[in-house]
Structure 1
Amino acid sequence: MSSTRWITETVEGSHEFNIEGYSLAKGSQGVGYSMTSGKFSVCGLDWVIRVYLGGYTQTCKDYISVFVKLVSLTEVRAAYEFKLLDKTGKGEHGAHYTATSPRMFNTTENSWGFQEFMKRSELETSSYLKGDCVTIHCTVRVVQTRVEEGKHYVIPIPPSNMGQNFKGLLESEFGSDITIQVGNESFKAHKSILAARSPVFKAMFFGVVGNPNMETVSIKEVDPFVFKAMLLFLYSDEFPETRELSNSDSPCTSTSILHHLLAAADRYDLARLKLMCEEKLCEKITADTVATTLALADQHQCLQLKTVCLNFAAKPKNLGEVMKSDGYAYLEKSCPSLLTDLLKISAAVDK
């Protein structure tokens, strides 16, 4: 027996359009004048957001008009939603407007939206406008259809256990051909695996000045517990569990461990591990640690982490506590440019 499935589904994507200097933009734009966001992709198609601060036409001149436009030359059905992002940090986003049903976007009708999205007078007295900045969030849901022919058999495929197998190889030390001395601890590993995962190890063992016959190597710039965590990642491609990052005798906090691990990932050119550390450090930012994390992010070119740290520290409710921390004292002495950036952002937030 055979079967066919006709499947209709949506592919969703979102974009935030930040309008800074709202008052200046409003004053320079009359009815029918628009500002356009950068392109963003949903379902492989390019879209932009168009905002008319002075209204799309004379009939809606007291309103802000918003539209989403299909840039790609094709035809597609899509639903859309607009909302204003709350600037108080409470997450109470508002002015929700959603298309009741998908619209047809094509070369003739490539733009849909709302002419009377919100009255300017309401916006200008709301929590959606702060620091002369307003953020419009747009979600596009593209409707797709596809046909699937039914299968005549079902063979369950188990998930890959390659990571566990390689991790077991590390823990068993079977076939190891290199001993790495880190502080007072030694680790047995496999040169081929280390070289395949890290360009630095590849150069160390098999590069022009490398030695493929070496049996031991000493590493001084990384603490043993951090090197162990890095080894676990190299063999499993997974972020080590918290219990694997340190033992009960380690004086380091989890944030401190992540600092050391990010530095090691950068040193050994492990981009994926470096990004994992960035993500976890973003979740652990506090007033006591943010200055230290900011300095680390700047040193190792972690731009996303640096931005998150600056925005957190610049908030009026956080800045006072941040300035009391040891990390802030370090910024004053060693990273004056970072301190300047922080104070600029803080001044902008206060306006």
Structure 2
Amino acid sequence: MAPIGAIVSTKSKTNHNILSSSSIFETVKGFHEYNIKGYSLAKGMGVGKYRSSHTFTVGGHDWAINFYPDGKTQDNQEYVSLFVELVSPGEAKAMLEFKLLDQSRKGKHDVRGTSECAKVFDREGTIWLWGYMQYMKRSELETSSYLKDDCLTIHCTIGVVQTRDEEGKRYIAPIPSSDMAQNFKSLLESGIGSDITLHVGNEFFRAHKSVLAARSPVFRAQFFGLVGNPADMKTVTIEEVEPFAFKAMLLFLYSDELPEACEYSDSDSPCTLTTFMQHLLAAADRYDLPRLKVMCEEKLCEEITVDNVATTLHLAEKHQCLQLKTICLNFAAKPENLGEIIKSDGYANLEKSLLTDLLKTCAGVVQK
């Protein structure tokens, strides 16, 4: 019992932690390329008649591209019509984009079919198609670079809108994003505390032995191995690496980011992205940087052309990049590419083993 005159509090303790819940809307993207071979033979099949691509899956739903060479309706018979069809049952909400790929390899693809907002598809309802009655006039298509050797390629991107709920997360305080990479880049750029000079070609770079050793086993062995006294090592000469590639690799060692080629190319003799990535991949392999090597490999896979595939294939073989080698071989083995590749300077320098691999790949393409 409380003493007379005392004040007894009846308030309970308050939990100041705030509970939150979220509904998160996300877009799951995927694409499909539909090749029309023998376009001139498809014409005349009739208004409203179409050919469909193979079914493909994006966001857990099955889709198909419908191509109407003579238009979908009588009012649009001078045009080709393009539509996306929801094949699987149920409802889906998606954003779409059509483009015709430029067959001249100049990259000027036709992007004129883009939905401004998400469309609702319902296979069990009334709307399961979306597209363009008048995508392009046949006369325009037939005189364009989108049609070559009586073939055209339709590229369709689908972004399926999905939602998920998150509940019961305790909100304490927002955590700032990490600025460690920026701090290390500033350390490299300022040269504060640097204890090693790297001589590459006609250029000199100041760096920190501990950082380089932590990131690269090669530098670790060089600076802190059993041979020599690292305290006495003030300058190291780097051979067989171009200065622009070494500078880019150095930035990666400090920031873990893939640098842009334009930052390191000489303005008098600009370096192409492919050449930049080829040199950077070689440097990454030499200094045992598997993450950087794969990042370069991915970029090179995106940049393959008839002009550079032979040199990229040679690089992939030399540095044991199996994925890059496979993609180069498959690209080079295509009948529409092989003739031009054989004329290139890089092809003349390919090793016999790679020529054998290319012949085997070509044989596989023919059999298919």
Quickly name the TM-score band, shorter chain normalised: 0.5 to 0.7
Q: What letter is aligned with 1:174?
A: I
Q: What's the offset of the Cα at 1:243?
A: 2.5
Following TM superposition, the consecutive aligned residue runs of length 4 or more in structure 1 with deviations greater than 4 angstroms are: 1-4, 6-14, 82-86, 92-96, 141-146
CA distance in 2, matches of 1:218, 1:207: 17
| TM-score, normalised with respect to structure 1 | 0.60
Aligned counterparts of 1:8 and 1:156: Cα–Cα separation in 2 = 18
Cα shift readout 1:39-77 (whole Å, capped 9, x = no counterpart): xxxxxxxxxxxxxxxxxxxxxxxxxxx9xxxxxxxxxxx
Q: Distance in 2 between matches of 1:277 and 1:180?
A: 23
Supply the distance in 2 between the matched residues of 1:8 and 1:229 (Cα, whole angstroms): 38
Q: Tell me the equivalent position of 1:326.
A: 345
Alpha carbons of structure 1 residues 171 and 4: separation in structure 2 relative to 1, 3 Å: closer
User: Which residue identity does 2:255 align to in structure 1?
Assistant: S
Give the one of 270, 289, 299 matched to 1:280. Answer: 299
What is the RMSD of the two structures over their aligned residues, measured on CA atoms?
A: 3.5
SS class of match (2:230) = coil
1:194 aligned residue: 212
Per the alignment, residue 100 of structure 1 pairs with 90
Count of residues in correspondence between the two structures: 244
Bigger radius of gyration: 2
Aligned position for 1:349 = 365
Change (3 A) 1:95 1:211: farther
> How far is the alpha carbon of 1:170 from its aligned partner?
1.1
After the TM superposition, which residues 47-62 of structure 1 pair with which residues of structure 2 at under 5 Å, given as runs? none
Distance 1:166 1:8 in 2: 34
Which amino acid counterpart does residue 187 of structure 2 have in structure 1?
L
Paired residue for 1:295? Answer: 314
1:266-294 per-position Cα deviation (integer Å, ceiling 9, x unaligned):
00001111111111111111101001101
CA distance in 2, matches of 1:248, 1:303: 33
The alpha-carbon distance between structure 1 residues 292 and 84, as it changes in their structure 2 partners (threshold 3 A), is farther
What amino acid does structure 2 have at the position aligned with 1:202?
Answer: R
Give the Cα–Cα distance (whole angstroms) in 2 for the partners of residues 4 and 188 of structure 1. 49
Q: Distance in 1 between matches of 2:201 and 2:180?
A: 30
Output the CA distance in 1 between the equivalents of 2:221 and 2:312: 30
Tell me the amino acid that sits aligned with residue 179 of structure 1. T
**CA contact 2:245–2:280 (8 Å) conserved in 1:** yes
Verify: 1:265 aligned to 2:280, yes or no.
no
Sequence identity percentage: 60
**In 2, are the aligned partners of 1:5 and 1:148 still within 8 Å (CA)?**
yes
Q: State how 1:55-70 maps to structure 2 within 5 Å.
A: none
The residue matched to 1:311 in structure 2 has which SS? helix
Contact kept, 8 Å, 2:284 with 2:293, in 1: the verdict is: yes
Distance 1:262 1:294 in 2: 13
In 2, Cα distance between the equivalents of 1:10 and 1:254?
32
- Residue 208 (str. 1) matches residue 226 (str. 2): yes
1:1-351 aligned at under 5 Å gives the runs 2-3=18-19, 5=21, 80-82=60-62, 97-100=87-90, 147-149=167-169, 151=171, 153=172, 155-213=173-231, 214-250=233-269, 252-331=271-350, 334=351, 336-351=352-367
CA distance in 2, matches of 1:327, 1:158: 49
* TM-score normalised over the length of structure 2: 0.58
1:101 deviation in Å?
A: 7.2
Q: Any unmatched runs of 5+ in structure 2?
A: 1-15, 31-54, 67-81, 93-160
Separation (CA, whole Å) in 1 of partners of 2:24 and 2:177: 28
- Secondary structure in 2 matching 1:98: coil
Q: Give the letter for the 1:207 counterpart.
A: G
**Distance in 1 separating the partners of 2:236 and 2:20:** 60
1:5–1:150 contact (8 Å) kept in structure 2: no
2-side partners of 1:259 and 1:96: how far apart?
A: 42
Structure 1 residues 159 and 215, CA gap change in structure 2 (3 angstroms): same
